[in-house]
């Protein structure tokens, strides 16, 4: 069925709004930094301020997306709608449910004035960007059909950055512990994680310094759809 001029205008406005949001989110991601860089406190304050703004934009985008979904459901051929839904599921743009492996990483506990072992610095006591990324890479290789970090869905092109000892994901800031959930064959996922060199290094620090590492099997869990850009 042909779309009316009013419908085309509404869709154009929605696309423009989504593009504006994705530009802001991409800027925030590009400004992420590593745990070992200087000026962390000033940067963290800026990121938190921008994250609040992104949260407002996210709410507006959700409203516009609902309007797009309504138009699609009522005006697009059912066969085409089914094809779109299948592609969205494969791309991570749809809610997904299934059995999953849950992994939690956390900073090591430390008492005030506690002496550190020889050769160990404060950076060794926190979860780093590369630690989270190593787990995620292993899960993808293990055949994960969907991955969630904290309360957000991620896809293969997602950028995960650290600011201080916090995680920056899609313009939102998270403090440890960092929880990762991956849908798929839990045995294959577990084997892939155990074989990942980056995870093996992290586990050495788990034994040496007490970094947090918890693994749990979830019989059924639902993860949200991806809300960010599909390209960097």
- DSSP assignment of 186-225, as one string? HHHHHHHHHH-HHHHHHHHHHHHH--EEEEEEEEEEEEPP
The pLDDT value recorded for residue 33 is 45
Residues 6+ apart with CB under 8 A from 38: none
Quick one: which of 232, 226, 184, 177 has its CA closest to 206?
177
| Predicted TM-score (pTM) of this structure | 0.65
- Token representation of residue 163: 């600011």
Please tell me the CATH code under which domain 1-232 is placed: 3.30.70.1880
Read off the pLDDT of residues 90-132 as tens digits, 9 standing for 90 and up: 666 789 999 999 999 999 998 777 787 788 888 899 999 999 9
Where in the chain are the domains? 1-232
Query: Which residues of the chain are under the pLDDT cut of 70?
Result: 1-44, 54-55, 71-78, 80-92, 229-232
Residues 6+ apart with CB under 8 A from 181: 100, 101, 102, 147, 148, 218, 221, 223
| C-alpha 223: how far from chain center | 11
CA end-to-end span of the chain: 34
142: β partners = none
The number of C-alpha atoms within 13 Å of 131 and in the hemisphere containing its C-beta is 30
């Amino acid at each position: 069925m042909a779309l009316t001029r009013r419908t085309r205008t509404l869709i154009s406005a929605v696309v423009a709004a989504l593009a504006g949001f994705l530009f802001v989110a991409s800027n925030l991601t590009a400004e992420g930094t590593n745990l070992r860089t200087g000026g962390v406190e000033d940067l963290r304050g800026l990121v938190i301020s921008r994250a609040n703004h992104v949260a407002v934009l996210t709410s507006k985008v959700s409203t516009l997306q609902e309007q797009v979904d309504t138009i699609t459901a009522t005006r697009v051929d059912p066969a085409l709608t089914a094809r779109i839904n299948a592609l969205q599921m494969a791309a991570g743009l749809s809610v997904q449910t299934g059995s999953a492996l849950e992994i939690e990483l956390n900073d090591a506990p430390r008492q005030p004035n506690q002496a550190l072992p020889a050769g160990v610095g404060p950076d060794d006591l926190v979860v780093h960007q590369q630690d989270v990324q190593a787990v995620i890479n292993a899960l993808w290789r293990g055949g994960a059909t969907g991955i969630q970090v904290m309360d957000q869905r991620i896809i293969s092109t997602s950028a995960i950055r650290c600011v201080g000892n916090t995680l920056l994901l899609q313009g939102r800031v998270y403090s440890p512990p960092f929880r990762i959930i991956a849908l798929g064959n839990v045995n294959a996922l577990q084997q892939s994680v155990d074989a990942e060199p980056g995870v093996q290094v992290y586990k050495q620090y788990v034994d040496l310094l007490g970094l947090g590492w918890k693994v749990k099997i979830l019989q059924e869990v639902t993860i949200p759809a991806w809300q960010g850009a599909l390209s960097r």
